[in-house]
Amino acid sequence: MNNSVAIISDIHGNTHALRAVLQDIANQGISKLVCLGDVVGYGGSPGECVDLLREQGIPCVRGNHDAMVSTGSGLDDVNDATRQSIEWTRDQLSEDQIGWLAALPMMMQGEDYEAVHACLHHPDEWGYVLRADAAALSFRHQTRPVCFIGHTHRPAFWVEGDEFGVDITAIEALKPTRKCLVNVGAVGQPRDRDERACYAIYRRDTQDILWRRVSYDVAGAQQAIIQAGLPAYFAQRLELGR
């Protein structure tokens, strides 16, 4: 039995990327999945993404876009294009789908890991972990050996006590005596100049993290955005990975 856990994040209404990633996970025989939120926002297929997660019973935490769509929380702090996306997304979802987003927990704990969208330090404030000092704030609240985050749309790996993040390769070993903070990257809108969908696998048996990049129908995802009448920039950035 495969003891690994696949962690996905930042789907952002991109069902083309989500379906490709779910197929990649299934091909590897992994049955345990966790989603770190931002299921919706920016993309042209929010309802399909919500339904896919629910149909497969994938546990999910709440992202800031999920919160804005379902409760309006944080909507005053975004630019006009993002506000347009949030308002459009809300109009596309049923009351049941919006209720599911609103009920998502802020954090999740497994036997040997924690999961949160942005940061364990005031998770509802959606802080970005881009430097070691921000990672240190999260480490203070971390109670498991490893914590998984998203939000920045960029893979990253932080080790408690280190001055800088790890210059990651495709696989990084966990540290048996120190906490690790892992950004799994983005499924639906990567921003590390690689247009392929990104997610991570926590391989318990070898105690390491494997990031995978998955090609998907970028043009199809772009077309869904354009047909929805959303800002063209949201479509353009998909092919640029930024």
CB–CB of 146/182 below 8 Å? yes
Residue 216 pLDDT: 98
- Residue 1 in this model has a pLDDT that exceeds 80: no
Sheet-wide strand order for 32-35:
32-35, 5-8, 197-203, 208-214, 171-173
| Exposure b/e, 207-221, CB count within 10 A at least 16 = b | eebbbbbbebebeeb
Tens digits of residue pLDDT in 17-65: 999 999 999 999 999 999 999 999 999 999 999 999 999 999 999 999 9
Query: 213 near 36, Cβ under 8 Å?
Result: no
> Domain 5-240, CATH 3.30.70.141 — does that match?
no
Query: Per residue in 154-198, pLDDT tens?
Result: 999 999 999 899 998 889 999 999 999 999 999 999 999 999 999
* pTM across the whole model: 0.96
* Residue 196 CB coordination number (10 Å): 16
Q: Rounded to whole angstroms, what are the CA distances from 239 to 3, 79, 218, 235?
A: 34, 22, 7, 8
Say which DSSP state 143 is in.
Answer: -
